[in-house]
Structure 1
Amino acid sequence: MAGQSNDDLPLRTPLYERHVALGARMAPFAGYDMPIQYGKGILHEHLHTRASAGLFDVSHMGQALLVGPDHRTTAAALETLVPADIAGLGLGRQRYTQFLNEQGGILDDLMVSRGPDPADDGKLVLVVNAGCKEADYVHLDLNLPDGVKLERRDDKALLALQGPQAVAVLARYDEAATAMGFMTVASLTIGGIPVFVSRSGYTGEDGFEISVANSDAVALWDLLLSNPEVEPVGLGARDSLRLEAGLCLYGHDINQETSPVEAGLTWSIQKRRRTDGGFPGYRRIMRELAEGTLRQRVGIQPQGRAPAREGTEIMDMNGELIGEVTSGGFGPTAEGPIAMGYVARDFAGVGTDVQLSVRGKLLPASLVPLPFVAHRYKR
Structure 2
Amino acid sequence: MPTQYGDLSIKESTIHTRKHVSLFDVSHMLQTHITGKDRVAFIESLTTADVQGLQENSGTLSVFTNEKGGIKDDLIIMKTDKDFLFLVTNAGCIDKDLPYLLENAAAWRAKGKDVKIETLDNRGLVAVQGPEMAKVLQEGTDIDLSKLTFMKTTVGSVFGIDGCRVTRCGYTGEDGVEISVDPTKAEQLVDRLLASQAGKVKLAGLGARDALRLEAGLCLYGSDIDENTTPIEAGLAFVVAKRRRETLDFPGAEKIVKQLKEKSWPKRRVGLLAQPGRCPRSHLPLIDPLDKCAIGFVTSGCPSPTLGKNIAIAYVDKSHSKEGTKFIVDFGAKQAPVEVVKMPFVPTHYYTGKK
> Normalising by structure 2, what TM-score?
0.94
* Structure-1 separation of matches of 2:96 and 2:35: 19
The structural deviation recorded for 1:75 is 0.9
The structural deviation recorded for 1:317 is 1.6
Contact 2:30–2:94 under 8 Å retained in 1? yes
The structural deviation recorded for 1:268 is 1.1
* Structure-2 separation of matches of 1:297 and 1:141: 32
Alignment correspondent of 1:180: 148
Asked whether 1:64 is paired with 2:29, we answer no
Asked whether 1:341 is paired with 2:353, we answer no
* Structure-2 separation of matches of 1:165 and 1:364: 38
Of 336-345 and 169-178, the range deviating more from structure 2: 169-178
Contact 1:176–1:188 under 8 Å retained in 2? no
RMSD (Å) for aligned C-alpha atoms: 1.0
Alignment correspondent of 2:184: 215
Structure 1 segments of 4+ aligned residues over 2 angstroms from their partners? none
The structural deviation recorded for 1:334 is 1.8
Unmatched 5+ stretches in structure 1: 1-33
Deviation per CA, 1:113-167: give whole Å up to 9, x if none.
Answer: 012x3xx13x100000001013111001111212101001014110000000001
* Structure-2 separation of matches of 1:84 and 1:94: 10
* Structure-1 separation of matches of 2:72 and 2:134: 33
The structural deviation recorded for 1:178 is 2.8
Alignment correspondent of 1:308: 280
Among 252, 260, 265, the residue aligned to 1:289: 260
Q: Please tell me the residue identity of whatever aligns with 1:106.
A: I
The structural deviation recorded for 1:206 is 0.3
Alignment correspondent of 2:218: 247
* Structure-2 separation of matches of 1:177 and 1:96: 21
Equivalenced residue count is: 339
Asked whether 1:196 is paired with 2:165, we answer yes
The structural deviation recorded for 1:41 is 1.3
Q: Please tell me the residue identity of whatever aligns with 2:13.
A: E
Alignment correspondent of 1:157: 124
Asked whether 1:131 is paired with 2:97, we answer no
* Structure-1 separation of matches of 2:124 and 2:286: 40
Alignment correspondent of 1:299: 271
Asked whether 1:101 is paired with 2:66, we answer yes
* Structure-1 separation of matches of 2:122 and 2:8: 31
The structural deviation recorded for 1:333 is 0.6
Of 83-92 and 172-181, the range deviating more from structure 2: 172-181
- What secondary structure sits across from 1:252 in the alignment? coil
* Structure-2 separation of matches of 1:204 and 1:320: 35
- What secondary structure sits across from 2:335 in the alignment? strand
Of 50-59 and 34-43, the range deviating more from structure 2: 34-43
The structural deviation recorded for 1:177 is 2.1
Alignment correspondent of 2:232: 261
Q: Please tell me the residue identity of whatever aligns with 2:266.
A: L
* Structure-1 separation of matches of 2:302 and 2:269: 16
Alignment correspondent of 2:133: 166
The structural deviation recorded for 1:362 is 1.9
Contact 1:305–1:336 under 8 Å retained in 2? no
Alignment correspondent of 1:42: 10
The structural deviation recorded for 1:291 is 2.1
The structural deviation recorded for 1:40 is 1.4
* Structure-2 separation of matches of 1:361 and 1:305: 11
Contact 2:51–2:79 under 8 Å retained in 1? no
Among 142, 146, 165, the residue aligned to 2:103: 142
Contact 1:171–1:178 under 8 Å retained in 2? no
Deviation per CA, 1:217-237: give whole Å up to 9, x if none.
Answer: 010010000022200000100
Among 74, 79, 103, the residue aligned to 2:44: 79
- What secondary structure sits across from 2:184 in the alignment? helix
Unmatched 5+ stretches in structure 2: none
Deviation per CA, 1:11-68: give whole Å up to 9, x if none.
Answer: xxxxxxxxxxxxxxxxxxxxxxx21101211111100000000000000000010001
Q: Please tell me the residue identity of whatever aligns with 2:276.
A: G
Deviation per CA, 1:71-111: give whole Å up to 9, x if none.
Answer: xx211111110011111111110110011111111111000
* Structure-1 separation of matches of 2:16 and 2:122: 30
Contact 1:94–1:198 under 8 Å retained in 2? no
Of 253-262 and 302-311, the range deviating more from structure 2: 302-311
